């Protein structure tokens, strides 16, 4: 039986659809992602913390729920919007339906809305807050809000509706990194299993020429014996898997870890993970990261890690109008002129013109020219805004993990080697 539901945007626009997943009401930052596949990775990506995520691809859920593809143990979105969801998934790995998964984790879903129009609004007006109203008939306040939304659709803006709008506009995402750090710990796998599963699905290491290495020994040769600390700001599980495939020992540490404690691990390199929220709010992490870059340890930053590294070196960040989210974002490597298709999920970017003297642009977004990568010359480090681990794809830039391993091997005189 269909249950009517609504989404109310901060600009006052209301759209009606149907409820699936959990019932109730939820407020978050409304964003859209353009991936045609990878909805499981989207739902479980900690970087979506505090956000209502809308899929622009019209049919979602056709291959069901596959826990082995999760990026963390549970979803982090505030709400989920699709045009149509598949009630009868067909995949030999499926262990349930999208509806049941959302319901189990208390995620309010909305389908049957015009996602194309919603996307245009966000793209043209910019990211804005929103509220999904999906009452089940037992909560009087939720029913009252739904009634106010229904009347607003017909031009009657009641006092209750204006009060609801004020609450929507006042919403902010807070304590983001601290809320999701370590979210992937529960689904970690040993290195041998990671490579065996990856080889079975051909998601093995890929070099700069796009060639895959199916031989575990060869793939792990350069990184064997290297100790890499994964500084977890909300890390996707596949970041760790990509390091394990290359033979490295990976030591995850939570976001609040100090530089001193990281160096006590005697790392050969440190990888700064993705994560949610405004990077500039993480002043404590930025301070510790600045000290880390002065230690001589090679550093590789991804997404939020890329932004935090830039802030630690004196650059600035800014919020984008509607961000980059999806698996089809083109980026150009300035050193080669080669364009790669990348997977991305971010609402902030490093301001290219604010980079310090010992930093240079390495990648740019070919759609809007924003910063997609930075190389540093005053310490052994580099970073990218996109996701080279790219689960669920594409694999174009996975070679950057090999580049990190090669940087570790070239540097030699790291803190770990000298201590």
- Can you say which residues are annotated as belonging to the binding site for L-glutamine? 47, 275, 277, 304, 307, 345, 347-348
Cis peptide before 394 (omega within 30 of 0): yes
Q: Are 312 and 279 in contact (CB under 8 A)?
A: no
Residue 187 burial (CB count, 10 A) = 16
List the structure tokens of 83: 């045009």
CA–CA separation, 214 and 217 (whole Å): 9
Structural contact between residues 20 and 73, judged by C-beta atoms closer than 8 angstroms: no
End-to-end CA distance of the chain: 66
Q: How far apart are CA 49 and CA 53, in angstroms?
A: 10
The pair phi, psi for residue 200, each rounded to 5°, is -65, -35
CA atoms within 13 A on the CB side of 305: 27
State which H helix or E strand residue 404 sits in.
helix 399-411
Positions annotated as catalytic residues are: 303, 387, 389
Is residue 143 exposed (0-12), middle (13-18) or buried (19+ Cβ within 10 Å)? middle
DSSP codes joined into one string, 34-69: --SS-HHHHHT-GGGTTEEEEESSSEE-TT---GGG
DSSP state of 314: T
Q: Is 33 exposed, middle or buried (0-12, 13-18, 19+ CB in 10 A)?
A: buried
Q: What is the rounded (10 degree) CA torsion for 90, 93, 95, 97?
A: -30
Decide if 237 contacts 70 (C-beta within 8 A). yes
Per the annotation, binding residues are 47, 275, 277, 304, 307, 345, 347-348
Task: List Cβ neighbours of 17 (8 Å cut-off, separation of 6 or more).
Answer: 4, 5, 6, 7, 81, 110, 111, 112, 113
Distance of CA 339 to the CA centre of its chain: 22
Q: Is 8 exposed, middle or buried (0-12, 13-18, 19+ CB in 10 A)?
A: buried
């Amino acid at each position: 039986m269909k249950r009517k539901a609504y989404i109310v945007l901060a600009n006052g626009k209301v759209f009606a659809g149907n409820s699936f997943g959990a019932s109730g009401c939820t407020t978050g930052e409304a964003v859209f992602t353009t991936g045609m596949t990878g909805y499981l990775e989207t739902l479980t990506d900690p970087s979506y913390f505090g956000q209502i995520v809308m899929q622009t691809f019209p049919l979602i859920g056709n291959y069901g729920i596959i826990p082995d593809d999760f990026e963390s143990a549970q979803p982090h979105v505030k709400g989920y919007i699709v045009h149509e969801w598949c009630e009868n998934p067909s995949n030999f790995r499926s262990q349930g339906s999208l509806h049941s998964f959302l319901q189990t984790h208390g995620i309010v879903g909305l389908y049957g809305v015009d996602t194309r129009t919603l996307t245009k609004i966000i793209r043209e007006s910019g990211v804005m807050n929103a509220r999904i109203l999906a009452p089940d008939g037992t909560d009087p306040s939720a029913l009252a809000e739904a009634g106010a939304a229904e009347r607003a659709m017909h031009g009657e803006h009641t006092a209750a509706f204006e009060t609801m709008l004020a609450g929507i506009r006042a919403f902010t995402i807070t304590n983001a990194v601290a809320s999701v750090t370590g979210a992937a710990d529960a689904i970690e796998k040993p290195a041998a299993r990671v490579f065996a599963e990856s080889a079975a699905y051909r998601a093995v290491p890929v070099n700069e020429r796009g060639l895959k290495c199916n031989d575990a020994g060869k793939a792990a040769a350069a990184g064997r014996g290297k100790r890499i600390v994964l500084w977890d700001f909300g890390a996707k599980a596949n970041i760790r898997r990509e390091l394990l495939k290359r033979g490295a020992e990976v030591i995850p540490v939570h976001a609040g870890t100090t530089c001193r404690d990281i160096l006590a691990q005697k790392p050969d390199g440190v990888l700064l993970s993705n994560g949610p929220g405004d990077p500039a709010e993480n002043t404590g992490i930025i301070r510790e990261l600045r000290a880390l870059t002065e230690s001589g340890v090679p550093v590789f930053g991804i997404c939020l890690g890329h932004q935090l590294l830039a802030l630690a070196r004196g650059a600035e960040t800014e919020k984008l109008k509607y961000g980059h989210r999806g698996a089809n974002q083109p980026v150009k490597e300035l050193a080669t002129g080669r364009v790669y298709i990348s997977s991305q999920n971010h609402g902030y970017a490093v301001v290219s013109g604010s980079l310090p003297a010992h930093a240079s642009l390495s990648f740019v977004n070919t759609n809007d020219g924003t910063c997609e990568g930075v190389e540093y010359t005053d310490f052994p480090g580099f970073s990218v805004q996109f996701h080279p681990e790219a689960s669920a794809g594409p694999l174009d830039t996975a070679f950057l993990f090999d580049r990190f391993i090669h940087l570790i091997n070239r540097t030699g005189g790291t803190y770990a080697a000298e201590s």
